């Protein structure tokens, strides 16, 4: 059997491969494998102890093998003697269904069985901060409304251009880079792709941004709300479904005033009906709920939803329709697992199509100004525990994601919540020391 990775190494001068997988909490795990050993690894995988990562395993579990997917291989533009390759987790010859990339592939198989090819894009926001995490990296980035700040983005030109040059080199078709709504915050956009490819790119993008920032003695963070008074890091997801050969967008209907087909509205209905449970996946940390339930920030808007509503080209809603044939789901944040984000949105949408779900009334109001006038819009969960309860109680979504994944995810996330609630904070000392 031809060994694609060995051939890739020989052709491209690669000395080492990073065989990488993403665990349930979104942490990237890898082994650095010399190119001379990659042939065996491509067939059998690199061995990991699952318990040593955020997976629901014990030290007694056998080796978990991360089997690299040659189609995902990416040569590091900033270190071309190393290549990164996404891997699927296998144990004793069987896929580890709780592993996020496997979970996504299982969901995509369901879509493919119905003749659907899901295409997605992501817009990942991040901050460039000092290495110790204490403040943003640019002391001159102080504007009240810093979004699109020309001077501020050019002061970080060396970092931004190196990341964008890397994406151009990789063929990702990046098309814009901007300073975002918070001081020290940036967003970089690249072209949409098949959902698995987008998830792999999203995973690599986070690794790449952090690595290049470190080269410049800075730190990049995708934390949802790293600074109390500033806009948080969103991760907006664009979704459309195409026919099996990827030629025809089945979400497109040029006769509709928003350019959406009947199946698109049903997919949207699935997103809306499962939104509260989705937050456990799209907003997976304690800190996430400081973004979607935030008070007004320094710039005057949070740019994050707190209710389940949808609209046309209106950024104040959880879902907007920025153009014909696709949605932008604005719920997720920077902590979202690249694979689970795709899997959960697709699972919810497929259920909407299957049940012909109604997305409900389109609202065109400014939700930040007039949202209080909407009496029947469901509120998003106020904290991670509420989100986990919503997910556990939603048997359709948790079942579609798979019992192996859902059980493991809920168990570990509850442990995380318990760890948070047992932690004593400065707020407690400041406000209750004298009671």
**Phi, psi (degrees; rounded to nearest 5) at 382:** -85, -15
Q: Using CB atoms within 10 Å of the CB of residue 432, give its burial: 0 to 12 exposed, 13 to 18 middle, 19+ buried.
A: exposed
Residues, the chain, total?
435
> If you average pLDDT over every residue of the chain, what do you get?
97
pLDDT tens for residues 326-349? 999 999 999 999 999 999 999 999
List Cβ neighbours of 254 (8 Å cut-off, separation of 6 or more).
Answer: 324
Cβ pair 160, 152 in contact under 8 A? no
DSSP 215-248: HTT-EEE--S-SSTTS---BEEEEEEEE-TTS-S
pLDDT of residue 2: 61
CA atoms lying within 13 Å on the CB side of residue 87: 33
Q: Using CB atoms within 10 Å of the CB of residue 11, give its burial: 0 to 12 exposed, 13 to 18 middle, 19+ buried.
A: exposed
pLDDT tens for residues 25-64? 999 999 999 999 999 999 999 999 999 999 999 999 999 9
Q: Using CB atoms within 10 Å of the CB of residue 366, give its burial: 0 to 12 exposed, 13 to 18 middle, 19+ buried.
A: middle
pLDDT tens for residues 301-312? 899 999 999 999
- Does the pLDDT value for residue 295 go beyond 90? no
DSSP 317-375: SSEE--STT-EEE---BTTS-HHHHHHHHHHHHHHHHHHT--------S-HHHHGGG-S
- Does the pLDDT value for residue 199 go beyond 90? yes
pLDDT of residue 298: 87
Q: Which residues pair with 85 in a beta bridge?
A: 19
Q: How far apart are CA 284 and CA 306, in angstroms?
A: 15
Q: How far apart are CA 232 and CA 294, in angstroms?
A: 9
Residue, of 2 and 414, whose pLDDT is higher: 414
pLDDT of residue 85: 98
pLDDT of residue 327: 95
Bridge-based pairing state of the strands 310-311 and 319-320: parallel
Residue carrying structure tokens 């389109």: 362
List Cβ neighbours of 60 (8 Å cut-off, separation of 6 or more).
Answer: none
pLDDT tens for residues 222-273? 999 999 999 999 999 999 999 999 999 999 999 999 999 999 999 999 999 9
- Least confident window among 266-270, 319-323, 350-354, 371-375: 371-375
Q: What is the mean pLDDT of residues 75-100?
A: 98
Q: Using CB atoms within 10 Å of the CB of residue 174, give its burial: 0 to 12 exposed, 13 to 18 middle, 19+ buried.
A: middle
Residue 135's pLDDT band (cuts 50, 70, 90): very high
Q: Crossing angle, helix 195-215 and helix 338-355, to 10 degrees?
A: 160
List Cβ neighbours of 80 (8 Å cut-off, separation of 6 or more).
Answer: 12, 13, 14
pLDDT of residue 281: 98
List Cβ neighbours of 99 (8 Å cut-off, separation of 6 or more).
Answer: 21, 23, 55, 88, 89
Return left, alpha or beta for 21; rule: phi > 0 is left, psi -120 to 50 is alpha, else beta.
beta
Q: How far apart are CA 123 and CA 101, in angstroms?
A: 20
CA atoms lying within 13 Å on the CB side of residue 220: 24
pLDDT of residue 1: 45
């Amino acid at each position: 059997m031809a060994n694609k990775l060995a051939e890739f190494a020989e052709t491209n001068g690669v000395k080492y491969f990073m065989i990488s997988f993403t665990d349930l909490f979104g942490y990237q795990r890898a082994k650095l494998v010399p190119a001379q050993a990659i042939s065996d690894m491509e067939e059998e995988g690199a061995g990991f102890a699952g318990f040593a990562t955020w997976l629901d395993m014990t030290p007694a579990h056998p080796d978990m093998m991360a089997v690299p997917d040659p189609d995902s291989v990416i040569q590091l533009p900033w270190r071309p003697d190393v290549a990164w390759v996404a891997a699927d987790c296998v144990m004793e010859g069987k896929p580890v269904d709780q592993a996020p990339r496997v979970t996504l592939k299982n969901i995509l198989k369901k879509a493919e069985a119905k003749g659907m090819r899901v295409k997605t894009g992501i817009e990942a926001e991040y901050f460039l901060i000092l290495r110790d995490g204490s403040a943003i990296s640019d002391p001159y980035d102080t504007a009240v409304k810093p979004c699109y700040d020309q001077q501020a983005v050019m002061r970080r030109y060396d970092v931004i251009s190196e990341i964008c040059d890397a994406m151009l080199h990789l063929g990702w078709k990046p098309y814009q880079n901007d300073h975002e709504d918070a001081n020290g915050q940036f967003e970089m956009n690249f072209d949409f792709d098949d959902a698995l490819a987008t998830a792999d790119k999203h995973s690599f993008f986070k690794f790449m941004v952090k690595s290049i920032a470190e080269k410049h003695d800075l730190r990049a963070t995708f934390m949802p709300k790293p600074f109390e008074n500033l806009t948080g890091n969103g991760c907006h997801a664009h979704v459309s479904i195409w026919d099996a050969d990827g030629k025809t967008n089945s979400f497109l209907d040029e006769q509709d005033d928003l350019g959406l087909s009947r199946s698109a509205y049903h997919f949207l209905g699935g997103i809306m009906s499962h939104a509260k449970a989705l937050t456990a996946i799209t907003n997976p940390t304690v800190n996430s709920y400081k973004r979607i339930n935030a008070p007004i920030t320094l710039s005057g808007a949070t740019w994050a939803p707190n209710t389940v509503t949808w609209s046309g080209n209106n950024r104040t809603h959880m879902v907007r329709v920025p153009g014909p044939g696709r949605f932008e789901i604005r719920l997720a944040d920077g902590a979202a697992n690249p694979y689970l984000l795709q899997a959960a949105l697709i699972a919810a949408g497929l259920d909407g199509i299957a049940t012909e779900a109604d997305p409900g009334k389109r609202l065109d109001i400014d939700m930040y100004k007039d949202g209080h006038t909407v009496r029947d819009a469901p509120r998003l969960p106020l904290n991670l525990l509420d989100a986990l309860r919503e997910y556990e109680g939603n048997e359709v979504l948790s079942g579609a994601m798979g019992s192996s994944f859902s059980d493991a995810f809920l168990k570990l996330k509850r442990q995380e919540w318990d760890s948070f609630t047992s932690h004593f904070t400065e707020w407690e000392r400041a406000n209750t020391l004298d009671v």
